[in-house]
């Protein structure tokens, strides 16, 4: 593997951009053993993504064929399945490019791979947000059940107030558009300024769909103030979006834990009420 010969200025305001030095001379920083380990992970990802597509697509197809996609009881799992299918397809695409190494051979494939990785990151956030909406609706559905339905498994229809079209539209629009707006648009615009595609580490060119591999890595020994304005701006940019994604995952995960705790607490109370009625 060739070493990265991109030149960085020190104590200057601009980044030296020499296309002859930076076009294809990118190092993945992996030995053969490490690459073999990643190959194994990618094959497993490819297999699990295929299983996910089969399961999620069966739900989507069933809802469409039976014309129940807009049914309040079906719509949340229908939307979640669509996100699952899209995310799994992106995982499969990235895995295939990693195994073939096609993106490392030509710059045009690298551009497409950068787009795939960026969209994968956004859809991962969308999937988390949609899952949170699904959990909220499941909680409200459980909350409306009486204790007698615990054993007969008769679900009451979800309240009209919960499934109000305007609220549903706002919730799902936010879940979809917020990650796309905060990730895809800034990355798409700033990738031209920072030339992220050309300077990205070769590992990202093979479409490992991880956030950290989409961005170029600063030179070894870099610290704020040592590499000029360009590297400092890039450092702040990477840090800001890392914090943004971490905050999204943390908030969603925390909300999910609280919701599931409330769901189990509600079910426990209904079972206790059923036991009290039975012994009365």
Band of residue 81 on the pLDDT scale cut at 50, 70, 90:
very high
Q: Are the beta carbons of 82 and 62 closer than 8 angstroms?
A: no
pTM of the model: 0.70
Residue 202 pLDDT > 80, yes or no?
no
Residue 177 pLDDT > 70, yes or no?
yes
Q: Which residue has the higher pLDDT, 11 or 233?
A: 233
Number of domains in the chain: 1
Query: Has residue 23 been placed in a domain?
Result: no
Lowest mean pLDDT, pick from 89-103, 119-133, 150-164: 150-164
Selection from 53-62, 106-115, 168-177 with the highest mean pLDDT: 53-62
Question: Which residues have CB under 8 Å from 125's CB, separation 6+?
Answer: 178, 179, 183, 245, 248, 249
Mean local confidence (pLDDT), 5-26: 37
Question: Which residues have CB under 8 Å from 196's CB, separation 6+?
Answer: 114, 187, 190, 214, 215, 216
Q: Which residue has the higher pLDDT, 27 or 276?
A: 276
Query: Has residue 74 been placed in a domain?
Result: yes
Residue 134 pLDDT > 50, yes or no?
yes
Interatomic CA distance for residues 243 and 210, integer angstroms: 15
Query: Has residue 171 been placed in a domain?
Result: yes
Query: Has residue 10 been placed in a domain?
Result: no
Domain encompassing residue 83: 32-139+150-219+226-279
Band of residue 61 on the pLDDT scale cut at 50, 70, 90:
very high
Query: Has residue 83 been placed in a domain?
Result: yes
**What local confidence, expressed as pLDDT, does residue 229 receive?**
59
Query: Has residue 21 been placed in a domain?
Result: no
Residue 31 pLDDT > 70, yes or no?
no
Query: Has residue 14 been placed in a domain?
Result: no
Q: Which residue has the higher pLDDT, 182 or 87?
A: 87
Q: For residue 173, what is the domain's CATH number?
A: 1.20.1070
Query: Has residue 130 been placed in a domain?
Result: yes
87-99 pLDDT tens trace? 999 888 878 877 7
């Amino acid at each position: 593997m060739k070493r990265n010969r991109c030149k960085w200025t020190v104590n200057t305001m601009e980044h030296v951009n020499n296309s002859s030095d930076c076009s294809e001379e990118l190092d993945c920083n992996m030995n053969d053993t490490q690459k073999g380990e990643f190959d194994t992970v990618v094959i497993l990802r490819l297999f699990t993504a295929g299983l996910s597509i089969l399961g999620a697509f069966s739900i989507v197809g069933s809802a469409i064929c039976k014309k129940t996609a807009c049914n309040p009881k079906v719509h949340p799992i229908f939307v979640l399945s669509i996100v699952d299918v899209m995310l799994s397809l992106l995982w499969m695409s990235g895995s295939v490019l990693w195994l073939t190494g096609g993106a490392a051979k030509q710059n045009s494939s690298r551009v497409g791979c950068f787009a795939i990785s960026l969209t994968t990151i956004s859809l991962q956030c969308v999937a988390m947000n949609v899952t949170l909406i699904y959990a909220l609706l499941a909680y409200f559905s459980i909350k409306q059940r009486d204790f007698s339905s615990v054993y007969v498994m008769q679900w009451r229809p979800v309240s009209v107030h919960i499934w109000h079209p305007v609220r549903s539209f706002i919730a799902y629009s936010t879940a979809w558009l917020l990650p796309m707006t905060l990730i895809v648009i800034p990355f798409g615009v700033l990738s031209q300024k920072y030339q992220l595609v050309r300077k990205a580490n070769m590992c990202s060119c093979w479409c490992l769909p991880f956030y950290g591999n989409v961005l170029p890595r600063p030179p070894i020994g870099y610290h704020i103030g040592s590499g000029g304005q360009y590297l400092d701006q890039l450092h702040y940019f990477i840090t800001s979006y890392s914090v943004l994604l971490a905050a999204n995952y943390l908030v969603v995960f925390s909300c999910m834990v609280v919701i599931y705790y409330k769901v189990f607490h509600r079910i426990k109370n209904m079972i206790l009420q059923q036991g009290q009625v039975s012994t009365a």
